[in-house]
Structure 1
Amino acid sequence: MVNKINLEKQTYEVPNSRKPGQTGIYRNGQRPELLETFSPKVKTVYDIFTHGYHTSKDRPCLGRRSVNAAGQFGPYVWETYREVNQHILNFGSGLMNLINHTLNDPRTRGIPIGMWAVNRPEWFITDMACASQSLFTVALYDTLGPDAVEYVVNHSELEIVVCSGDHIADLLKIREKLPKLRAIISLDSFDDGAKVTPGSVSKGAIIKAWAEEKNVLLTDMATLELNGKKNRRSINLPQPDDLACLMYTSGTTGNPKGAMLTHRNFVSAVAGSYYNLDGNVNDVSISFLPLAHIFGKVTDTLAIAYGSRIGYFAGDMNTLVEDIQELKPTFMAAVPRLLNRVYAKIAASTINAPGLVGSLARRGVAAKLENLANQKGFTHPVWDRLLFNKVKQALGGNMRVMVTGSAPIGKDIMQFLRIALCCDIREGYGATETTAATACHYEGEYQAGHLGAPFPSNEVMLVDVPEMNYLSTDPQPRGEICVRGPNVFKGYFKEEEKTREAIDEEGWFHTGDIGVINERGCLVIIDRKKNIFKLAQGEYIAPEKIENVYAKDSLVAQVFVHGDSLQSSLVAIVVPDPETLPAFVAAKSPKLAKSKLSYEELCKSPEVAQLVLAQLTSVGKKAGLHGFELAKAIYLSSEQFTMDNDLLTPTFKVKRPQAKKFFEVQIDALYEAINNQPEKAKL
């Protein structure tokens, strides 16, 4: 059953599903039946590719930037679905020949294959080759670091790792700590074709000798493809409930957990997205979100399901916008961190510009926002011709729809980007454990600040959290968001206790997020069950909620809110936006502006810290934060939180214990300053 989209009633409550301590069960209002697939013939991840292949045989499939002799990037070059299909069949066959003959392993299915590389066509080919032979992949995060890589390789019992050439040495360096590792397959050839000077040894020969010394078989993808072409194996399809991959969640504490995701999980998640996003063979998607993370992997798989094309970024986030402008995508999955940067750049040249340009842009934005609020869409016949047709070129000019996820995005930023980029931008919600797809905006959504309705692949309910005073009996039902459906994972690998904590006896995955169903039937996240703590006077604090409020201000690039039960107030570490901070200081303190301090010097200034604190306090009060939820002192850091300094997970969440330790000296100094203030000043 497919209902017409009703944006004022987005969810369907299953009749007679309410029980004490929980809400009723909510499903997608347009498609209330739970979907397992988008086609009767599609039951596995490999089937998704064959569906796209039969739709678009000789159309472009995978593309990458061309590179000239000087190392400069040029236009995208493409391989068709037919060509990619041959790569998959050949590499899958070569991989099985390696396992059964070279390594003398008699197994023909259920073998883990490690993947370690940035997004590139070979990643997709490897993934599908494994699926075609009933093997499953284990993603190694490109920025996990040697300790976590060692843990994942050993925990998942990897014997074979497929990786880019730059990671061969990383694996060989820790070979003694990886007792099961038997083979490394390089995605790159070992030599670039350059002539070797007589009497010298090529780099390829050196690394091969090193691998041999470490008792590791080292080969490359091209060699295995050639072998597979000569010795072709039959397709050996998995069952829907077989593992498709082990995806290790980037936890903020402790070792990562390996989420067991099956083919049924992936197919149902893609099916839910397939109907929600309504793509077609003419769509062009850019792949840059890490394929070791579920959001990026499902997005790319979805593009293939439509028979559309995927262009991979050149590997450097600093030049991503150049890749986008060259590719001119129609579809893109993004994260708020990127969209905040896009917003800042567009706002600086439009609504925040001086003189006539700024005045004209502000009128245009106001007119388009009013249009959007009146459900007249994100385009405008006059203002787009005058202004926004140029603005949307920032993302290539052809963008049809964008999906943002992994963290909340500010309402104002979402609405501004919708009308500035003249495209449909939707916010989604998911987790590794729900194969990325839990809820998302419908087409035509004109409001922001919510997560739309459940995908057709799962259902949602809210369970009481009495210790935080969130109840299903509230005027608008509130509680912990629980998800059930064919997209919910099988459990954590070798972690039965943690699996039981996450999935209850009725199959509900408990997310730890606190949600509410609003008057339009939309899911809204309002709090987090985990990461809560008490201050000295007993108030519960959810730091992520406060961080989300502060982060909506364009002055804030990153923020970490800290407190504990021994202190009566909160402090925060703030990384100001380098482009916004100087203008903010100039507006608030002409004296400081005249001193022409650098960004780093501004961050060190106590006066600037007080100005920023006053701004965040104002933002917090406007957002309805209680007095005890406002940071009473802040430290301005000019150093970004990154994965390299171990302050961010690969999904851009702050690692709280690590951040506490990293800024321990600054946090102690902030509390000392607070505690030395006169009592009146603390109030």
Structure 2
Amino acid sequence: MAADLDENDPQYRAARPDETVRAAALEAGPGLAAAVDRIMTGYGDRPALAQRDTEPYTDPATGRTALRLLPSFSTLSYAHAWERARRLATAWAAAGVRPGEFVATIGFTSTEYATVDLAVVALGAVAVPLQPSSALPQLQAIVDETAPVVLATSQEYLGKAVELARAAERTPRLVVFDHHPEIDDEREALAEAAGALPTVQTLDEVLDGAAQLPLAPLHSPDGDDDPLAVLIYTSGSTGAPKGAMYPQRAQWRAWSGHAMSLPNTRPTISLNFMPLSHMMGRTVLLSTLGSGGIAYFVARSDLSTLFEDLALARPTEFHVVPRIFDMLFQLFQSELHARSGDGGDPAAAEQTVLDDLRERVLGGRILRALVGSAPISPEMKEFAQAVLGVPLHEGYGSTECGVVLVDGLVQSPPVTAWKLVDVPELGYHTDDHPHPRGELLVRTDDIFPGYYNRPEVTSSVFDDDGYYRTGDIMAQVGPDRLVYVDRRNNVQKLSQGEFVALSKVEAALTHDPAIRQVFVHGNSDRPYLLAVVVPSQELLDRVSDPQALHGELTAAVQRTARRAGLEPYEIPRDLIVEPEPFSMANGLLSDIRKLLRACATNGGSGPTRRTSASGGMGTVSDDIRPYGLC
């Protein structure tokens, strides 16, 4: 396909990396800003960032003006994007913001979010991307810890940003991006924020105010200094967020593409929908720009427009988390069900739907795909590859150590050394047969220097030889070849001594078309597992009786567990039906759509109706009471 695109696709051909630009960036002066300047000026006339077009409209019923999406994207060139970023850095410098000070950002990934990030690079400040879905107390703790001088927020999260700024010991300057002054709700929300804080400006207002100022010089560190560039706070999926420190040289690895461990000399056209508060989302964006590619952005933070945006952007690279394939599988099942009354060969119908989704929804020019952040079941991977039409690479790594595995093979570089260590309390040993098993410890070129202001926590995640404790159980199945078993703290010991990898069970069960999402729960006081299951929309539309719905889902769990070869003790004994999907809105998914197990255990925001086998909660409620949906 690449050869065909080279010959027939002008956009693809024009996005090819330029080795002279890369060489110039490598030879730039000290610091990240100099290298980024070479990239942004070297690719100056090329399109860099692309956002969905919109238009205002007036609701005839209310007379209020709102915004609607158009079926097209507009692009911003490298030169224009960099000029805006440097102008923003100039405004901040004139306001007294200095290199090394913190700039916090809360919002969904977008062209203007990228502008804020580029300005932070030019100024030599430290980016603190906040996860919008996090609870306010968690975000407030981060703001208190970093004391940002600027808090940049998208219009969507302006209310939360105002609360954070008002509670801060030192009130930061508030900059609002993705703001549309012609939209009534947005204009009124901005006016309310301006009444609550001393300094509130839109991004356009800040840029206009610096239009006549000479550009501030690019930040250049002293000598061999490697200043802090970014703090990436962990999602909280395993506890309280901690700020992983990324110096400028580590960020350059993301720009240069090395952080992905999949070197790419082909044109990169990406659709960005993963949050910039997560290193995977940040690396996809930076590696696209670093290679002279085009970074498109999804229009809606809830991903309700994802399939529309994919069809319009037609990406060549597809870096995703497993839940995106869950969404695609549900669409596949829905379209296959719609064709079921046509008769004919079922296998041919499946292939027709797969081919249609590949061209009509995915854009028809994906050349490389990678899934990460969480394990994907073999069945879902098989589906993903069938619909993509290309191999799906599986990446494994973490915020703290970067990429470690691709398709189960240790990546060296960046990995310089690794080992497995016994976890006797969970029954994993390096002398296990047929494969050694244990917690993976690594040393890598991308290892982080530690957590911000957390020396004791930093010390606890390294062993005496300087290896980072990943917290993940692996099995060694060959030389430098590892298979993920589960998170160490996701392995549940049942009362009769069996160990269950909970996420493995969840991944297996969600392959059934009747099951949209599942949360598996167990504890050491019981010999069995229980589950909270979100039905597919098709099943909800077809079955309205609560008891019948419970029966359908119980049957789905049983048949899927058998197909996946789960042990009897790995199959949930009973389940609760939860019609409301796990989401960022109810606090059960992180910004990268990972199940927040700790939040699920402590409670979400409260769903609608639930049914257990007995028609009420019964023993299920007693056993899963910590889960907020009970």
Q: Shorter-chain-normalised TM-score: which range?
A: 0.7 to 0.9
Alignment of 1:510-549 (within 5 A): 510-519=469-478, 521-549=480-508
Alpha-carbon RMSD: 3.4
> Post-superposition shift, 1:346?
2.8
Deviations 1:379-433 (A, max 9, x none): xxxx9xx983774322112222222111122223323332333234222112222
Query: Quick one: distance in 2 between partners of 1:162 and 1:323?
Result: 25
Alignment of 1:321-340 (within 5 A): 321-340=307-326
Matched-pair contact (CA < 8 Å) for 2:106–2:154: yes
Correspondence for 1:218: 200
Q: Secondary structure at 1:492's aligned position in 2?
A: coil
Query: Quick one: distance in 2 between partners of 1:164 and 1:143?
Result: 13
Correspondence for 2:18: none
Is 2:398 the counterpart of 1:398? Answer: no
Is 2:304 the counterpart of 1:314? Answer: no
Query: Quick one: distance in 2 between partners of 1:520 and 1:360?
Result: 42
Is 2:524 the counterpart of 1:565? Answer: yes
Q: 2:54 aligns with which of 67, 81, 98?
A: 67
> Post-superposition shift, 1:453?
3.6
Correspondence for 2:219: 236
Correspondence for 2:401: 434
Paired positions, count: 575
Q: 1:469 aligns with which of 427, 441, 447?
A: 427
> Post-superposition shift, 1:466?
2.7
Correspondence for 1:114: 104
> Post-superposition shift, 1:666?
7.5
Matched-pair contact (CA < 8 Å) for 2:368–2:391: yes
Query: Quick one: distance in 1 between partners of 2:312 and 2:344?
Result: 28
Query: Quick one: distance in 2 between partners of 1:63 and 1:630?
Result: 46
Is 2:630 the counterpart of 1:672? Answer: no
Correspondence for 2:153: 163
Matched-pair contact (CA < 8 Å) for 1:481–1:511: yes
Is 2:443 the counterpart of 1:456? Answer: no
Q: 1:99 aligns with which of 71, 96, 103?
A: 96
Query: Quick one: distance in 2 between partners of 1:387 and 1:647?
Result: 30
Correspondence for 2:568: 627
Is 2:595 the counterpart of 1:654? Answer: yes
Query: Quick one: distance in 2 between partners of 1:83 and 1:548?
Result: 44
Q: Secondary structure at 1:392's aligned position in 2?
A: helix
Query: Quick one: distance in 1 between partners of 2:43 and 2:479?
Result: 39
> Post-superposition shift, 1:360?
6.4
> Post-superposition shift, 1:535?
2.6
> Post-superposition shift, 1:353?
4.4
Deviations 1:472-530 (A, max 9, x none): 33443322122322212221222222211212343322111111233475332012211
Q: Secondary structure at 1:631's aligned position in 2?
A: coil
Q: Secondary structure at 1:318's aligned position in 2?
A: coil
Query: Quick one: distance in 2 between partners of 1:249 and 1:284?
Result: 28
Compare 329-338 and 40-49 and name the one that shifted more.
40-49
> Post-superposition shift, 1:217?
1.8
Correspondence for 2:514: 555
Is 2:170 the counterpart of 1:180? Answer: yes
Q: Measured at CA, do residues 145 and 625 of structure 1 come closer, stay the same or move farther in structure 2, by a change above 3 Å?
A: same
> Post-superposition shift, 1:456?
2.8
Alignment of 1:573-652 (within 5 A): 573-579=532-538, 581=539, 599=543, 601-602=544-545, 604-605=546-547, 607-652=548-593
Query: Quick one: distance in 1 between partners of 2:156 and 2:355?
Result: 42
Q: Measured at CA, do residues 49 and 38 of structure 1 come closer, stay the same or move farther in structure 2, by a change above 3 Å?
A: closer
Q: 2:330 aligns with which of 344, 350, 362?
A: 344
Query: Quick one: distance in 1 between partners of 2:386 and 2:507?
Result: 23
Correspondence for 2:64: none
Alignment of 1:121-132 (within 5 A): 121-132=111-122
TM-score normalised by structure 1 residue count: 0.76
TM-score normalised by structure 2 residue count: 0.82
> Post-superposition shift, 1:345?
2.2
Correspondence for 1:52: 39
Query: Quick one: distance in 1 between partners of 2:162 and 2:596?
Result: 28
Query: Quick one: distance in 1 between partners of 2:621 and 2:91?
Result: 65
Correspondence for 2:16: none
Matched-pair contact (CA < 8 Å) for 1:647–1:659: yes
> Post-superposition shift, 1:137?
0.8
> Post-superposition shift, 1:322?
0.9
Correspondence for 1:499: 458
Query: Quick one: distance in 2 between partners of 1:464 and 1:416?
Result: 35
Q: Secondary structure at 2:490's aligned position in 1?
A: coil
Alignment of 1:7-26 (within 5 A): none
> Post-superposition shift, 1:41?
4.8
Compare 181-190 and 158-167 and name the one that shifted more.
181-190
> Post-superposition shift, 1:193?
9.2
Is 2:225 the counterpart of 1:267? Answer: no
Query: Quick one: distance in 1 between partners of 2:78 and 2:56?
Result: 28
Correspondence for 2:77: 80
Query: Quick one: distance in 2 between partners of 1:121 and 1:571?
Result: 43
Matched-pair contact (CA < 8 Å) for 1:43–1:264: no
Alignment of 1:245-324 (within 5 A): 245-252=230-237, 254-269=239-254, 271-273=257-259, 276-280=262-266, 282-316=267-301, 317-324=303-310
> Post-superposition shift, 1:46?
3.7
Matched-pair contact (CA < 8 Å) for 2:270–2:294: yes
> Post-superposition shift, 1:439?
2.2
> Post-superposition shift, 1:645?
1.5
Query: Quick one: distance in 1 between partners of 2:507 and 2:618?
Result: 22
Q: List gaps (5 residues or longer) in structure 1.
A: 1-36, 101-107, 195-201, 366-382, 442-450, 583-596, 677-683
Query: Quick one: distance in 2 between partners of 1:633 and 1:489?
Result: 43
Q: 2:384 aligns with which of 405, 412, 417?
A: 417
Q: Measured at CA, do residues 320 and 279 of structure 1 come closer, stay the same or move farther in structure 2, by a change above 3 Å?
A: farther
